[in-house]
Structure 1
């Protein structure tokens, strides 16, 4: 198993990136929040999980070992594959998922694209205490520090996850209004994305 990659970032897209390690380019799939931390030409390290199928070898990348552990744990639930597991981490941090499962917060789980009420109930039941306890307290509030506006990056990530541009733009506008800000700073992209996903909540489109 390829447990991690450390190398130069060759390219970054909405759902994947390429890291060159020892002259070999590795295609790595990840959440928009994870991929937003990468910069083309810079060095990066990602914890990784290799998913092997009969016709494919797919590598998934994460900011740390904890995120990877949650990604692998949620796939023990029947009906949850790597793409849905990744969508869960796109919508929630590992600790937010732990709290949702421990508290049987069905409303939080159905905010993930592709998870309905029955699926959310099954996830809460089957995961049980497999995710462990949250490592931090309540999720940190999004910073209100102004910088170059990266709202379009957040909107593009939401579109990549399946929502239409209008819904994505409205969700980001709501997040900014609630935060008392009119811009998304570079270091706020990940938190703004998660907040926008919470705003969108229901069905895509």
Structure 2
């Protein structure tokens, strides 16, 4: 299976790019934001997910291995296909998707084109136990934080469970999920291992200043 490609961009269409690798052209499907960052004649390096079916072989490209893993994980949910998974990664990064799942933010997930509230709820429900994998290479850190949270122990490292709790608290206060996650992320950047209460206060200041 093809897992990574590096070559020159030959052409770009609405949902695909043609990449020349040593004289062989590969048609790559990708989210619009990924295609928009490409330029004809420029070099591109993408993590590739290869989907093989009876009637086709299709390559999907991502700017990072984290996104490829998130794309694969999303399709483990019943009713979620490649089109749905790409749509979600168009509006949410793997980190934001993790926050949305842990905070049970159905609204944020349903912002993706073609993903209704019912499907978004199923994604949240089925991925609750797999949330750590959404961070790809940092999955062990997140999984550890989730285990510590469940055991009632304050997490260290990036205080990921604290961030998720802060996002959930802001959502309960009426802030939109994506807005709350960005405010929490900005607040966390200036803090060392922040607690939930301190993170919420700092995030509210960020929201007030926006």
* TM-score, with length taken from structure 2: 0.63
Q: Contact between 1:70 and 1:131, CA under 8 Å: does it hold in 2?
A: no
Residues 109-128 of structure 1 mapped to structure 2, 5 A cutoff: 109-128=109-128
- 1:86 positional shift: 0.4
- 1:15 positional shift: 1.2
Q: Contact between 1:49 and 1:68, CA under 8 Å: does it hold in 2?
A: yes
Please say if 1:12 is aligned against 2:19. Answer: no
Q: Equivalent residue for 1:48?
A: 48
Instruction: Point out which structure has higher relative CO (alpha carbons under 8 A, 6+ apart).
Output: 1
Residues 31-70 of structure 1 mapped to structure 2, 5 A cutoff: 31-70=31-70
Task: Give the structure with the higher percent helix.
Answer: 2
CA–CA distance in structure 2, aligned partners of residues 88 and 105 of structure 1: 13
CA RMSD, aligned part only? 2.1
CA radius of gyration, larger in: 2
* TM-score, with length taken from structure 1: 0.64
CA–CA distance in structure 2, aligned partners of residues 19 and 131 of structure 1: 33
CA–CA distance in structure 2, aligned partners of residues 13 and 63 of structure 1: 17
Gaps of 5+ in 1: 141-179, 181-205
Residues 6-15 or 61-70, more deviating = 6-15
Per-residue Cα deviation, 1:106-149 (whole angstroms, up to 9, x for no partner):
11111111111111111001111423276687448xxxxxxxxx
| Poorly superposed stretches of 4+, deviation over 4 Å | 133-138
User: 3-state SS of the aligned residue for 1:100?
Assistant: helix
- 1:83 positional shift: 0.8
User: 3-state SS of the aligned residue for 2:10?
Assistant: strand
